[in-house]
Amino acid sequence: MELGLQDQGVVIVGGASGIGWAMVEAFAQEQARVAVIDIAPVPALSGFEGPVAVRADVTDYAAIQAAARELPPRLGRVDHVIYAAAVGSGKYGFPYWNLEPADWERVWRVNLLGAVHVAHAFGPLLSQQRRGTMLFLASVAGQIGSQTDPPYSASKAALINFAQCAAKDLAPYNVRVNTICPGMVRTPLNRSVWQAWAAQQSPETWQDYETWAAAKIARLIPLNRWQTPEDVAALAVFLASDRAANITGQTLNVDGGFVMHW
């Protein structure tokens, strides 16, 4: 689909792997100019130039502010900012007291405060241009009170709420803000949920990752299949385009029907 994103500047925070990297590839295919902010090394794009890479920790506000100053001249301008960084607690949270309150801090610092840092650093730039988009990658866990990892679930719920606040604040400047919530996606973060679950199982109840995931998908996903990073990236590209010009403040699920509101 021709989406008119050629030469537009896209910053993807947490774009070095997983869903974030699928977004990098999708925007590159649309001939956008892409930059990645990540604490991890950023791979090269096969068949495309770039992406521009900035090593920074989202919990370090000064570093994110520095990236926001550095990237506009390197990209030509910044039109779209995507927050795809996230961590889990690394523990299986059912019941929630399997975790300690101390297990919450890093999850919230990355999943919520990191997003706030990015919004504060790039929001004024987009508002001055009076054009652009922000997109936050949340999770269906933020909508259903998932017992799997309460810190992760709660941080994603807070992220959805913050995105709505940002959407209202930036709308007068013609800047749109939305949230995507993936369902079951085969990523390192998803696998870590299984690892935390498996560590608590007896030999009789233990399952390998593929068996565990297949059972969860059959139980929770009406379409009965994995979602893919590319599925999420396709929506991200659409939301950045003018075809989505009247979509803001929305939470859109790419989840095979996991969460249905009625």
Catalytic residues: 152
Rounded distance, CA 37 to CA 81, Å?
10
Q: Residue 95: is the preceding peptide bond cis (ω within 30°)?
A: yes
Distances (CA, A) of 69 to 52, 73, 75, 121: 14, 8, 11, 9
Rounded distance, CA 160 to CA 153, Å?
11
For the chain, the distance separating the N- and C-terminal CA atoms, rounded to the nearest angstrom, is 31
What's the DSSP call for residue 140? T
Distances (CA, A) of 103 to 6, 39, 92: 43, 21, 11
Helix (H) or strand (E) holding 157: helix 150-170
Which one-letter amino acid corresponds to residue 174? Answer: N
Rounded distance, CA 65 to CA 70, Å?
9
Rounded distance, CA 251 to CA 181, Å?
7
Q: What are residue 50's phi and psi, to 5 degrees?
A: 90, -155
Alpha helices for 33-140 (secondary structure H): 61-75, 104-108, 114-129
